[in-house]
């Protein structure tokens, strides 16, 4: 925030070689790729970074097992390779997670097809030896996961996925892009497209903080707005046969003691779909749904029907667990921006990405998965480079993002992550905090955890847990461009989803610190508080979309 005026000035006065519209995982990946090749790059996002789909996935950087069922072998192979790359570049953020796939009577997969499918998956996704699948008997399965339904269980497949925090991954990509020279701004929506003759030449943005409009000139413009891609395409009337097909995915979050699974589980539900239950810290979360969506993109809610569907799914697989809607602590609902395929249902549509090129030069990219963000970025920037070379002979280097760590002071291996977590644990223990906080802090911030702990000295008047959360806020103000308490609690820390009790407990302290730092008026403070309260209410669930 300290440098926001300078960034706004640069956005207005510079001639950019590439402007990216959209600050989700795809736009952030494009910004890093382009800036690392020496392309003069800017990015604008209408809300906060990762505030759309990129904070509302299942939070798995997965190898695409479900795509084997659709015979999309190339997609499985590509996302498997990409998973290994992003794990190497951010091992504290992309963490190996054992996944159990129960085999049940009349289920989607039989023992033979599961064994063969998982073996093909291991090969296509280039799975590490230590993470390759094992087939377990019914008895072995119940030994490691006794909550499963013994009456229908036949055995299980035991394989590996990788969990992440999708919003944190996006934020670190934005920061990495800025270290390479990109200028990235949140809360800066595009109002209109500008043209020189018949070709697109820029946009007009609005800084939501100051209210000023900003003309931005750029040689090339990429529309990476996820579910809003067609909104931008409507501005230049470039929607033709290819259009988006939006589907909604919902996840619900419970206290872990309500569903105390020991592993992440990928299981059948009565309607023929498969969903996940994933333990995470103090919680277990369940998802996802897959339904067509035509509602308000800025107000995507979890309905009672969505939540009840997931509760019912758990009840059929874990018969000893009696859940109700009242057990839900939090939820999130996101939109998948898929490419429409005539005659196919929401769950049948391919997750492949596609680039649309408009007659005026606007480049739009949509579809794809979280895991494949780097390859989507590479394809997009390769196209920009090709156009640039054709236009004026300018030369830019090849993509190097497979070798760029996502944090400035990276942890280089799982072993280093484990050792570092131990040192953080010792420091936090000395301050009176439990083991949970070391895992939480390192998984979110990596080696930046040391700086956050040092900031706790600024809040010695508070108890240890409050001191820590206020230190996190100071770090996020200084380093991660937050503007609201919602930015902090949702996309910088994940507390809104996975520790909503801490949000309730510390929201007044956090809003007070924000007000002091930004010199808010009482009216601005109350507006931020109202926004957060509204968000907290919406993440429960509602009776109507």
- Rounded (10°) angle between helices 166-179 and 25-36: 20
> What superfamily in CATH does domain 4-54+167-243+350-403 come from?
FAD/NAD(P)-binding domain (3.50.50.60)
3-state SS, residue 17: strand
**Domain at 245-339: CATH code:** 3.30.9.10
Predicted local confidence at residue 346, as pLDDT? 62
Question: In sequence order, what DSSP letters do the residues of 474-529 get, joined into one string?
Answer: HHHHHHS---SHHIIIIIIT-HHHH-HHHHHHHHHHHHHHHHHHHT--HHHHHHHH
Predicted local confidence at residue 179, as pLDDT? 97
Q: What is the pLDDT of residues 350-377, one digit of tens each?
A: 678 899 999 999 999 998 889 999 999 9
How many other CB atoms are there within 10 angstroms of residue 191's CB atom? 12
Predicted local confidence at residue 544, as pLDDT? 41
**Measured distance CA(459)–CA(471) in Å, rounded:** 8
Predicted local confidence at residue 349, as pLDDT? 62
Predicted local confidence at residue 545, as pLDDT? 39
**Measured distance CA(313)–CA(317) in Å, rounded:** 7
Given CATH 1.10.8.870, say whether it is the number of domain 414-538: yes
How many other CB atoms are there within 10 angstroms of residue 284's CB atom? 22
Q: Give the pTM.
A: 0.95
Contact 18, 220 (CB under 8 A): yes
**Measured distance CA(450)–CA(473) in Å, rounded:** 14
Residue numbers of the chain with a pLDDT score lower than 50: 543-545
Domain extent listing, the chain: 4-54+167-243+350-403, 245-339, 414-538
């Amino acid at each position: 925030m300290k440098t926001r005026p300078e960034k706004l000035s640069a956005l207005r006065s510079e001639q950019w070689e590439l402007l990216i519209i959209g600050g989700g995982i795809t736009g952030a990946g494009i910004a890093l790729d382009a800036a690392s090749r020496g392309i003069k790059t800017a990015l604008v996002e209408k809300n906060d970074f990762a505030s759309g789909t990129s904070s509302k996935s299942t939070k798995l950087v997965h190898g695409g097992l479900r795509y084997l069922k659709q015979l999309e072998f190339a997609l499985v192979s590509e996302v498997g390779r990409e998973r290994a790359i992003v794990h190497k570049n951010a091992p504290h953020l992309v963490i190996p997670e054992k996944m159990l796939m129960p085999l049940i009577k009349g289920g989607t997969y039989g023992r033979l097809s599961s064994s063969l499918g998982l073996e093909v998956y291991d090969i296509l996704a280039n799975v590490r030896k230590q993470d390759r699948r094992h087939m377990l008997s019914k008895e072995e399965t119940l030994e490691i996961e006794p909550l499963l339904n013994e009456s229908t269980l036949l055995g299980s497949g035991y394989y590996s996925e990788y969990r992440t925090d999708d919003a944190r991954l996006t934020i670190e990509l934005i920061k990495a892009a800025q270290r390479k020279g990109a200028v990235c701004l949140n809360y800066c929506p595009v109002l209109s497209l500008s043209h020189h003759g018949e070709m697109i030449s820029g946009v007009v943005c609005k800084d939501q903080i100051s209210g000023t409009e900003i003309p931005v000139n750029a040689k090339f413009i990429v529309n990476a707005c996820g579910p809003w891609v067609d909104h931008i395409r409507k501005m230049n009337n470039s929607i033709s046969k290819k259009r988006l097909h939006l589907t909604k995915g919902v996840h619900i979050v419970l206290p872990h003691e309500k569903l105390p699974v020991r592993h992440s589980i990928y299981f059948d539900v009565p309607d023929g779909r498969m969903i996940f239950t994933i333990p995470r810290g103090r919680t277990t979360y369940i998802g996802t749904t897959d339904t067509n969506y035509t509602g308000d993109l800025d107000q995507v809610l979890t309905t009672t029907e969505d939540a009840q569907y997931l509760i019912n799914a758990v009840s059929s697989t874990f018969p000893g667990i009696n859940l109700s809607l009242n057990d839900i602590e939090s939820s999130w609902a996101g939109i998948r921006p898929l490419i429409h395929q005539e005659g196919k249902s929401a769950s049948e549509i391919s997750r492949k990405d596609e680039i649309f090129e408009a007659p005026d030069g606007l480049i739009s990219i949509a579809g794809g998965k979280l895991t494949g963000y780097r390859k989507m970025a590479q394809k997009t920037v390769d196209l920009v480079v090709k156009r640039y070379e054709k236009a004026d002979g300018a030369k830019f280097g090849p993509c190097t993002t497979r070798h760029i760590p996502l944090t400035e002071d990276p942890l280089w291996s799982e072993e280093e992550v484990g050792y570092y977590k131990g040192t953080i644990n010792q420091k936090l223990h000395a301050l009176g905090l439990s083991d949970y906080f070391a895992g939480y802090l390192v998984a979110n911030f990596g080696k930046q955890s040391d700086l956050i702990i040092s900031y706790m000295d600024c809040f010695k008047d508070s108890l240890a847990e409050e001191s820590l959360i206020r230190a996190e806020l100071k770090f996020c103000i200084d380093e991660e461009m937050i503007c609201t308490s919602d930015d902090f609690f949702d996309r910088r820390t994940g507390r809104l989803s996975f520790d909503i009790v801490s949000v309730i407990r510390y929201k007044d302290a956090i809003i007070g610190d924000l007000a002091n730092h930004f010199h808010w008026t009482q009216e601005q403070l109350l507006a931020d508080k109202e926004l957060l309260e509204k968000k907290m209410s919406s993440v429960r669930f509602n009776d109507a979309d």
